[in-house]
Amino acid sequence: MSLPATPQRLFDEILLMIFRETQLPSWMTDYVIPPTLAPFRGSPSCADLYTRRTITEVSKAWYNLGVALLYEKITLRRLDQLPALLWALEARESLRPLVRSLEITFLAPWNFLEYHDFEIRKIVELCPRLSHFGYFPANDQHFELHHRLLPSPSSTGSAITSLGFTFLPGTLLQPALIQHCRNLRSLSLVLLLPMTPSALEQLKRRSGPDARRRCEEEEHHPLPFDNLEVLHITVDNDSAIRDTWSMPRLQRVSLRGKMNHQTSGLLAPFGGTIASLSLYDLHFAASSALLLQRVLDSCPKLDHLALSVSLFDPALRHPTITAIDIFCLGWTTPGVIQLRSLSARFPALQTLRTLDESMRFLRDIPRSLPQSVEFARLWEWAAGHSDDASSD
């Protein structure tokens, strides 16, 4: 029988709820691909961390509440922070269930890789409520990082529902994806081509004689992402995804990378449930308008489209999109005639926003964020004259 809550405990819980409301909204601090450098003074991430730390310094009574806020979302940007975190978790068992999110963005030297790998796995094992893990090194020099980076869910007792990786070949990502695919709700990947024979040989020398065979077998293992709703992916080849992935609940997708006839059809098997699509930093091997239209046609129920201004093309069309976001530098907008044409080609369109190009790396920008008043008036005028555009 559980003990009734004491007045002090209720007060602390209410106070913690108030503290959470003072934090910046997650869409301002969560990145699809986190910056590798520490946040600069005055940036949203820096301001958020400063607020959390300040709470711990107010009084002894507030210290524990502030610690709970500090440890629930951890980002390690320097190599020396990794052993410090491991030491804290081993020394204080009460900290372990506080950790909900762990992201690593620093680049470890070659001679530290093995111990670095061990410390990461140990930290993950010590955090029973960890739900998000992100590994975002500064470049691709980590390709031979031990491919058993994450322990299996059964060994941790936790269900990781969000994963993020950059600059790791699909061959090395397979074990982590195989272990956690059924629980994942969000996945962020820079999915490179499979490892070259020379890279596999280096992995074989580091991890044992059966490493190459194991990697090759796992590369074509089916991946049932039964609960995956959000996918952020940079891709230069879609064969593995189309052939081995299943995502019956996919709702939001952001796509970067090489865009050609093959990759433009990447979403075709999964597009029936996609409601929101973001397209930026795409490199085209053929006509951009034709390839982008093929992507849109793969998503018949699409409601929201976000894309860089460089990808904006008035020839694009879709019958169900109600909102479009255009990321651009400064005050760069399509011409009025293009807006009028856009209104005719997107008959369900209700809102069109321009957002700063730097915001394209943010996750889940709310639809309630307003656009500029001037552009809103311009769009209202263009929408009212769509009949004139369609008759031209």
DSSP string, 266-286: TTTTTGGG--EEEEEEEEESS
Give me the pLDDT at residue 62, please. Answer: 80
**Taking 70 as the threshold, does the pLDDT of residue 90 lie above it?**
yes
128 vs 16 pLDDT, higher one? 128
Crossing angle of helices 113-126 and 81-91, rounded to 10°: 40
Annotated domain spans of the chain: 1-72
- Phi (first) and psi of residue 234, to 5 degrees: -110, 125
pLDDT given for residue 389 in this prediction: 45
pLDDT at position 67 over 80:
yes
Band (pLDDT 50/70/90 cuts) for residue 198 is low
- Which pLDDT tens digit goes with each residue over 169-179? 555 677 778 88
Check residue 276 and give its pLDDT: 94
pTM of the model: 0.79
Of the candidate ranges 34-38, 178-182, 382-386, the one whose mean pLDDT is the lowest: 34-38
Q: Between the CA of residue 58 and those of 55, 100, 375, what are the distances in Å? A: 6, 24, 44
Q: What distance in Å separates the CA atoms of residue 33 and residue 46, rounded to the nearest whole number?
A: 17
Per-residue exposure over 302-313, b if at least 16 CB sit within 10 Å of its own CB, e if not: bbbbbbbbbbbb
At residue 166, φ and ψ (nearest 5 deg) are -135, 155
- Which one, of 75, 118, 74, lies nearest residue 96 by Cα? 74
Whole-number average pLDDT of the chain: 74
Q: Which of 193-197, 221-225, 382-386 has the highest mean pLDDT?
A: 221-225
* pLDDT category of residue 275 using cuts at 50, 70 and 90: very high
Handedness of CA 85, 89, 94, 100 (dihedral sign): positive
pLDDT at 267: 84
Q: What are 187's strand-pairing partners?
A: 163, 231
Place of tokens 């929408």: 383
Q: Look at residue 321 in the predicted model and tell me its pLDDT.
A: 94
- Mean pLDDT of the 307-336 span: 77
Mean pLDDT of 281-285: 70
Across the range 133-148, mean pLDDT stands at 61
Categorize the per-residue pLDDT at 1 as very low, low, confident or very high, splitting at 50, 70 and 90: very low
What's residue 362's pLDDT?
74
Which pLDDT band holds residue 286 (cuts at 50, 70, 90)?
low
